[in-house]
Amino acid sequence: MVIALCLYKYFPYGGLQRDFLRIAHTLAARGHDVKVLTQQWQGERPEGLEIILFPVTSRTNHGKNEQYYQSVKQYLSQHAVDRVVGFNKMPGLDVYYAADVCYAEKVAREKGFFYRLTRRYRHYAAFEKATFQQGAHTQLLMLTNKQIGDFKNYYRTESQRFHILPPGIYPDRKYSQQPENSRQTVRAKHDIGSEQFLLLQVGSDFKRKGVPRTLLAVASLPDGIRLRTQLMVVGQDKDDRYRAQARRLGIEKQVQFFSGRDDIAELMSAADLLLHPAVQEAAGIVLLEAVVAGLPVLTTEVCGYADYINAAQCGVVIPEPFEQIKLDNALREALENAALREGWANSARHFADTEDLYSLADKAADIILGH
C-alpha cells in the first residue's frame, strides 16, 4: 500500500513524534510505501520513509496548519494513496492517532465566551469536528478511555470507530536492558554523589507538564533534604522563566535545565524519582518509560496514563483538583523513606515484566492496514 502520514511538525523528543516514528517504521518494515507529509522535520531523516515538506508562511500556528492542510489536500488530489493517516486533527483522514485531549472539552473547562469568537478557536474546533463528528468515516486510534468519553460526549462519535491501543514503550528503555552498574556510572558522569537525591522531569512544554509545580515542591523540602537534592528538567522549551522561578525560590543550584537528550533511559537508571505533575496530558508516555525503567513516579490524575501508576503501585498520583501541598508532601515522604522508594521500584519492574506496555506500533499498523 501507499500510506500518507500527516504530521504538523517532527522533532526527535516529543512523545507524539516518537509514537509516529515507530508506527512509520513498522509500516515500512511490512513492505509498504510510507510518505510523510509535514511542515517541518528536525533531526536525521530515517531510511525507508519519503519525507515531503510543505512550507508555511503564516505567523500563527492555526494559520500555518490551515496552509499545510490545503497543501496536503492538493497533493493528495494529484497523488493516489491507499490510506491517509493523521497525527494531528484535520479533515479527510482515514485514520487519526489521538495523542491529544478533546479540544471542545478543554475550551469548555478553561476558556470564556470571547475566546470562542477567535479565528484560532474556529480553526481548531472545525478540524476536531471534522475528525470526530457523527457520520465521519475516520477510524480513531485512542490511548485512554477518558479520551473516548470526552469525544463521545461532545460529538456523539460512534463506538465502533474507536480503537484503544496498548502503550508503545521501546524495549531498550527497560531496566533489564541497561548496563550493569548503570546507576553508579551515570551519577559519576554527572557528578552526583551516592548520598544525593536525583529527581527527573522529562517533557516538552514545561508549563503544561507542570514544571512550576515541581520547582515549588523542591523548594518546599526541609533544608537537610533540599540541599542533597538535584533536579534535572529535560525537554524542548524556553527555560528562562523557569530558571527565574528557581532563582526566586532559592533553588537555582539544585536545578539544571536541558534541551532534548538521547540518554533518557540512562538518566532514569540513575534517578530516584520521576516528577510529572502535569496540568494537561492526554496520556504521558514518559510515565510508562519510568515504569519500565523501574523508576518511581509522582504525577497527577489528569494524565491519561496515571492509571498505570496506580495499577503498578509504583508511586503517587495526586488527585484533581490539584493541590500543591499534596505534591510537596508526597515528594518529602518519598525522599525521607528509602524503603518506600525501593518498594515502588520493585513493583515497577514487576509490572514491566508482566504487562503489555510495548506493542502500540504493531497494533496501530494492523488497524491502519485493515481499515
Same domain flag for 108 and 214: no
- CA–CA separation, 74 and 156 (whole Å): 30
CATH number of the domain encompassing residue 149: 3.40.50.2000
Same domain flag for 99 and 175: no
Please choose, from the candidates 47, 87, 45, 39, the residue with its C-alpha nearest in 3D space to the C-alpha of residue 63: 39
Instruction: Quick: pLDDT tens for 137-164.
Output: 999 999 999 999 999 999 999 999 999 9
Query: In total, how many domains does the chain have?
Result: 2
pLDDT score recorded for residue 13: 83
Range of the domain at 130: 2-166+359-370
Same domain flag for 207 and 349: yes
Same domain flag for 19 and 76: yes
Please choose, from the candidates 140, 147, 144, the residue with its C-alpha nearest in 3D space to the C-alpha of residue 166: 144
The neighbour count for residue 160, using CB atoms within 10 Å, is: 7
Q: Which residues have CB under 8 Å from 221's CB, separation 6+?
A: 229, 328, 331, 332, 335
**CA-based end-to-end distance of the chain:** 12
Same domain flag for 291 and 160: no
Q: Which three cell numbers stand for residue 194?
A: 551516592
* CA distances (Å), origin 23, targets 28, 193, 260, 363, 368: 9, 39, 21, 9, 10
pLDDT score recorded for residue 275: 98
Does pTM top 0.85 for this prediction?
yes
pLDDT score recorded for residue 14: 85
Would you place residue 15 in the very low, low, confident or very high pLDDT band (cuts 50, 70, 90)?
Answer: confident
Q: CA dihedral defined by 30, 35, 37, 38, rounded to 10 degrees? A: 70
Same domain flag for 211 and 292: yes
Same domain flag for 16 and 161: yes
Q: Which three cell numbers stand for residue 205?
A: 512544554
Instruction: Quick: pLDDT tens for 45-84.
Output: 999 999 999 999 999 999 999 999 999 999 999 999 999 9
CA-based Rg of the chain, rounded to a whole angstrom?
21
- CA–CA separation, 336 and 334 (whole Å): 6
Same domain flag for 175 and 285: yes
Same domain flag for 231 and 324: yes
Same domain flag for 101 and 117: yes
Strand partners, 6: 37, 86
Instruction: Tell me the average pLDDT of the chain.
Output: 96
Q: Which three cell numbers stand for residue 259?
A: 534541551
DSSP per position, 146-173 = HHHHHHHHHH---GGGEEEPPP---GGG
Would you place residue 262 in the very low, low, confident or very high pLDDT band (cuts 50, 70, 90)?
Answer: confident
pLDDT score recorded for residue 371: 60
Same domain flag for 298 and 243: yes
Same domain flag for 157 and 187: no
Instruction: Quick: pLDDT tens for 286-310.
Output: 999 999 999 999 999 999 999 999 9
